[in-house]
Amino acid sequence: MKLAVLLVLATIALLILGFALPVHQATTPGIVSGEALPGVGASANTPEAAVRSLLGDVQARDWNRAYSVLANNNNVPKEAFIRDVGGNYGSLRTFSSLEGSRTRVLNENGDQALVRADMHWSTAVGPIYDVKQLKVVQQGGNWKVEWPLEKQPTVPPQVVPVNYLRWDVISRGPEDDWGTQNVDSPRVRIVSMNAVQHGSTLVIVGEVVNEDTVPAFVDINAILIGKNDQNLDQESSFDKIQHTLLPKQVTPYRIDFPGFNLSQVKNVRMDAKAMLVPASADPVIAVLDQHEQNNVLGRKVLSGNLLNESGRVVNIAQVLATYYDSNGKVIWVSDGYVDRALLPQTPEPFAVDMPDSTVGKVQSYRVTVNHYMRQQS
């Protein structure tokens, strides 16, 4: 029990540190990490220079300058532009900074052009990549960018009934003589485990179920055992798992071992740790319109929409996608963070990657959502 508490405290400390000091991770294959952006007020004598100048203002968070050089600022409210680029409602974008970008002119014809911008955002949970195709027009001898404002539907005032299940945990105080002093850990079980090679990384994927009648905070550890029965390495699922499991709930997990190969491993020792935690079944986040498609970079992704069916704002949402083969075996687990807040009753798009090694093998998939709410932290 003490070990489980230490794990929770360590996780919370890492999350707090992450939001204070955004981390930098290796780039995703096929997506560039970005270049340094020009300074504020840089010359915009070409379509590409105009886009890079605007992104430079965004990187400096100089919203006044960025808004002033838009070609369509008469039709885009300033506050809406700032929310669209800089985030709101405590979303992941509000904790992000533009690290760099790559731009490329797709088409130029007279006084109009189309420029693709691959943006690399640094966040507390690692890099996020955003791709936009921006229309650039010439006005008064200068090139200016038309910003494609993503408008969200307006939800009318309404009453959302609260009828979800909730579990509280009562702890025995040091001066109390009632109740039990020690509480047994919830019963959880690893129901599947599969080791796959992904480039130079050995990956362990599978699923875990909470078999108890109480909620559990779950973490999965794995130890690689070598040919001579020596311990090669130890890693945990960290954020590639749904940590809080309600009774009978199933979560995928993924554990990465960079620099290891299957040929080096004789066995994998798995360990599921669980502790009792308070939890509730609210908010309910529905996953809608799941489908495979190619993104603007030509890579295969699983896309869809998240619908926050509660009446409260979900500040940060993380999508976990489990991919199964024709035998129902877990062959991959992808994760991705949505950098916009999930507003009540408002769909928000998501997309997570499908590695080339799984394309053609995936027969079904399941999407689950981790959520973080500021008022609960």
- List, for residues 250-262, the tens digit of each pLDDT value: 999 999 999 999 9
Local structure of residue 151 (DSSP, 8 states): P
What's the mean pLDDT when you consider all of the chain? 86
Q: What is the pLDDT of residues 87-143, one digit of tens each?
A: 999 999 999 999 999 999 999 998 999 999 999 999 988 889 899 999 999 998 889
Q: Which amino acid is at 349?
A: P
What is the value of pTM for the model shown? 0.81
Q: What is the mean pLDDT of residues 23-34?
A: 37
Q: What is the pLDDT of residues 66-89, one digit of tens each?
A: 999 899 989 999 999 999 999 999
Please give the C-alpha separations between residue 335 and each of 134, 211, 247, 351, in angstroms, as whole numbers: 27, 24, 23, 9
Q: How confident is the model at residue 16 (pLDDT cuts 50, 70, 90)?
A: very low
Overall size of the chain counted in residues: 377
Q: What is the pLDDT of residues 328-350, one digit of tens each?
A: 999 999 999 999 999 999 999 99
Q: What percent of the chain has pLDDT above 70?
A: 85
Ordered alpha helix ranges (H), the chain: 2-20, 47-59, 63-68, 78-86
DSSP notation for 294-362 = E-TTS-EEEEEEEEE-SSS-B-EEEEEEEEE-TTS-EEEEEEEEESS-B-TT-EEEEEEE--TTTTTT-
DSSP notation for 204-233 = EEEEEEE-SSS-EEEEEEEEEEETTS-EEE
CA–CA–CA angle 280, 87, 147 (5° rounding): 140
pLDDT of 10 over the 50 cut: no
User: How many angstroms separate the CA atoms of 52 and 37, rounded?
Assistant: 6
Q: What percent of the chain has pLDDT above 90?
A: 69
Spatial neighbors of 166 by CB under 8 A, at least 6 apart, are: 278, 279, 280, 281, 282
Cβ atoms of 285 and 369 closer than 8 Å: yes
Quote the pLDDT of residue 298.
Answer: 85
User: How many angstroms separate the CA atoms of 309 and 282, rounded?
Assistant: 9
Q: What is the pLDDT of residues 271-285, one digit of tens each?
A: 999 999 999 999 999
Cis geometry, peptide bond prior to residue 283 (ω within 30 degrees of 0)? yes
Q: How confident is the model at residue 172 (pLDDT cuts 50, 70, 90)?
A: low
Quote the pLDDT of residue 276.
Answer: 93
pLDDT of 377 over the 60 cut: no
Q: Which domains does the chain have, with CATH numbers?
A: 30-146 (3.10.450.100), 165-169+184-279 (2.60.40.3230), 283-376 (2.60.40.10)
Q: What is the token pair recorded at 90?
A: 């405590």
Quote the pLDDT of residue 342.
Answer: 95
Distance of CA 25 to the CA centre of its chain: 14
